[in-house]
Every structure is written in C-alpha cells, then in structure tokens.
Amino acid sequence: GHSVVTLDDLSPQQIIELLRKAEYIDSHRRQVMHTCDGRILATLFYEPSTRTRLSFETAMLRLGGNVIGFAGAQLSSVSKGESISDTLKTVSNYADVVAIRHPKEGAALVASRAASVPVINAGDGGHMHPTQTLADLATLTSRFGRVNNLTVGLCGDLTFGRTVHSLISTLCRFGNVRFVLISPDELKTPQYVLDRINDTPSCSFVQTRDLVGVIGDLDVLYMTRVQKERFFNEDDYLRLRDTYILDEDKLRHAKPEMAVLHPLPRVNEIAVEVDNDPRAAYFEQVKNGMLMRMALESSVLGDELPGYEAWSGKEV
Ligand code: CP
C-alpha cells in the first residue's frame, strides 16, 4: 500500500472503489470484523481532534486490528524536540499504517517520506484533509447519487479551512461542479485552490460575501468554522467568527433538497435548530467518515474485505 497525503494520491477509480467498499462495510459489519486481524494502526496527533482520531481508531478496531499512538505531543518525545522524520522512522517499526495530524502544512508529506509503512494525512495545517473529503464524497453520493452536476456553496473560512481545499481539489477531478465561494474578503480561497478550478474546463466559480443572496441556487451548502488556531491575532478572529450563522430563517430561501454539510466541530456557524431540518447532513458525514476510514485502512494494507468481490461482482 502507499501513502495518502492528498487525494491526488488516489485515482478517481480508486476513490469510487472506496465509496463502494464503505457501502459494503456498512451492510456487512460482521463479515468484515476480522479483515485486519493482527494489524496495528498508529495515530500520531500533534493537534486536537475528536472525530478524525476516534474514527481512525474505531475503524481499525472494527476491522479486528489494534491501535497505538498519542493524542497531543506533550506526552511523547516530540516534547523533547524529536523531529517528524525520526518519529516516523521509529513508529514504522511498531505499526503497519500511520495516521498523522499536524499543525504544519506539509507535515504529512515529510512523514510519508520518512516512514516505511503507509502514512495517511489526518490534516496538515491549513492545507489538506483527505479523509474528511472521503466522508464528504460519501455524503454527497448518498444524498444525490453523484458527486458532479452540482452547485456547491462553500461558506466561512475558505483561507484556512483545509477541508474546503481538499474537497474543491477532489471535486474538480470528477468535474462538472459550479462552486460558489462565500466568505469575507479576509478569508477568501487561496490561489492554489482557485487554480485547480481554473484548470478544470467543466468547473467554474464565483466569489461573494452574500450567503442569503446565493443560497437559493445551491444544491450543497458546505459550512465551515472560522479556524481560530490559524489566526495570528485574536481581534481578527473575534471580528470574523460570526460573519455567517446558518439558521432556519436563512434556510427558508434554500431549495428543499439542498444538503447542509459541515466537517465539524461547529462553534456557532450553524444554529442548533437546523439539526432537525432534513437538509442537515453533518451527522451523516460523521458516520460516513468512519466507514470511509474502514475502507481506506483495509485498502492501503491490502487486506481483502471478505465477501466484497462477490458482492461488487453482483452490483456491476
Ligand atoms: N472534522 C474533523 O476533522 O474533526 P476533528 O477535528 O474533531 O477530528
């Protein structure tokens, strides 16, 4: 198996295969519970996490494997100044696959080059979050039956939101998406991400500050948290954090079948009242995140899901 630093490390066919595997896993939980017997996953989290770390770990446990790792670098030898490379050369002796989250962009790439086992990027600074995108794609597939021919609004912190950068880059590979990029001027999408859209003839984008003005056009509204931990000063964060708050009042302008996604955690950018709206899809994303990590972990390890080949043969 090889590392997944961004989803560019997987072909579109491989991504579609992971979506199919996740669907199989969800309906065959008992059949797959020994898929990764004897395997060890290491989770190296240098940054806080609830969903990503716990779902990576749950995924391996549900496949029959085991888990080691650290959550917060202060109890590991990172606190003594050990480098990412030395840490990965060490952990490669212990684990068969590694998931790493780090505040610096590029950390997962450095880790993958030092490791002798597959490394999966669980978020590197404001850059990429490929396994979140897998959860997002599974959610779009279950809601719409497709990941293209959609108008996708992304709203909030488009500068530092790594989930946004990963999702846009990946949707461009499947093509035929119209992006509506909704942010304050200070939190616009970085040029390298806009270039992915510009380089894709079947995709386009518009940029706006006005959520209510565009919400009626959207099939998908991907809300994001303003990434406090990436700001250099508190005043800018406090000024920008409440720019967009999605509530039932704003949703009255949206299509009845629009899907509201959010990678979570949320602070207050989606009012709790929206959770009961059928358009709210963010807790489905959480479930899909675990299933997609089960599919990804077994795939990078080369472990066959019992019964899957016959099942997928039937479907085709
Ligand atoms: N969506 C996501 O990455 O959540 P955590 O930061 O809790 O892992």
Q: How far is the CA of 311 from the centre of ligand 1 (A)?
A: 32
What pLDDT score does 146 carry? Answer: 97
Instruction: Tell me 316's DSSP state.
Output: -
* 3-state SS, residue 38: coil
- The Cα 182–Cα 43 span in angstroms is 34
* 3-state SS, residue 297: helix
Q: Which protein residue has the closest C-alpha to ligand 1 atom 6?
A: 49
* Ligand 1 nearest atom to the CA of residue 264, by list position: 1
Reference 215, options 185, 186, 177, 256; nearest CA is: 256
Q: How far is the CA of 303 from the centre of ligand 1 (A)?
A: 26
C-alpha atoms less than 13 angstroms from C-alpha of 308 in its C-beta half-sphere: 22
**What are the pLDDT tens digits along the chain (316 aa)?**
699 999 999 999 999 999 999 999 999 999 999 999 999 999 999 999 999 999 999 999 999 999 999 998 888 888 888 999 999 999 999 999 999 999 999 999 999 999 999 999 999 999 999 999 999 999 999 999 999 999 999 999 999 999 999 999 999 999 999 999 999 999 999 999 999 999 999 999 999 999 999 999 999 999 999 988 887 788 889 888 889 999 999 999 999 999 999 999 999 999 999 999 999 999 999 999 999 999 999 999 999 999 999 997 655 4
Flag whether 173 is marked binding: no
**Do 131 and 263 touch, CB atoms closer than 8 A?**
no
Torsion angles phi and psi, residue 35, rounded to 5: -55, -40
- The Cα 55–Cα 247 span in angstroms is 28
Reference 224, options 137, 295, 164; nearest CA is: 164
Q: How far is the CA of 53 from the centre of ligand 1 (A)?
A: 8
* Protein residues whose CB sits closer than 6 Å to any atom of ligand 1: 49-52, 123, 132, 263-265
Strand residue runs (E) in the chain? 40-45, 66-71, 97-102, 119-124, 150-155, 177-182, 204-208, 220-223, 259-261
**Do 161 and 134 touch, CB atoms closer than 8 A?**
no
**Residues linked to residue 69 through DSSP beta bridges, in sequence order:** 43
* Ligand 1 nearest atom to the CA of residue 101, by list position: 8
Q: Which protein residue has the closest C-alpha to ligand 1 atom 1?
A: 263
Flag whether 287 is marked binding: no
**What is the pTM for the complete model shown?**
0.96
Residue labelled with tokens 């198996």? 1
Q: Is the dihedral of CA 281, 284, 286, 292 positive or negative?
A: negative
* Ligand 1 nearest atom to the CA of residue 48, by list position: 6
Q: Please, what are the domains in the chain?
A: 7-125+287-309 (3.40.50.1370), 130-285 (3.40.50.1370)
The CA-atom distances, in angstroms, between 139 and each of 30, 283, 286, 293 are 23, 10, 9, 14
Mutate which of 46, 124, 264, 269 for ligand 1 pocket (most atoms within 8 A of beta carbon): 264
Q: How far is the CA of 307 from the centre of ligand 1 (A)?
A: 31
* Ligand 1 nearest atom to the CA of residue 47, by list position: 6
Reference 98, options 5, 7, 22, 25; nearest CA is: 5
Q: Are strands 97-102 and 204-208 parallel, antiparallel or unpaired?
A: unpaired
Flag whether 265 is marked binding: yes
Q: How far is the CA of 212 from the centre of ligand 1 (A)?
A: 27
Q: How far is the CA of 282 from the centre of ligand 1 (A)?
A: 12
C-alpha atoms less than 13 angstroms from C-alpha of 189 in its C-beta half-sphere: 27
* Ligand 1 nearest atom to the CA of residue 55, by list position: 8
* Ligand 1 nearest atom to the CA of residue 53, by list position: 8
Mutate which of 49, 139, 224, 290 for ligand 1 pocket (most atoms within 8 A of beta carbon): 49
**Residues linked to residue 204 through DSSP beta bridges, in sequence order:** 178
What pLDDT score does 1 carry? Answer: 66
Q: How far is the CA of 128 from the centre of ligand 1 (A)?
A: 12
Per residue, the 3-state secondary structure of 252-278, as one string, reads CCCCCCCEEECCCCCCCCECHHHHHCC
**Do 279 and 259 touch, CB atoms closer than 8 A?**
yes
What pLDDT score does 227 carry? Answer: 86
Q: Which protein residue has the closest C-alpha to ligand 1 atom 3?
A: 52
Flag whether 10 is marked binding: no
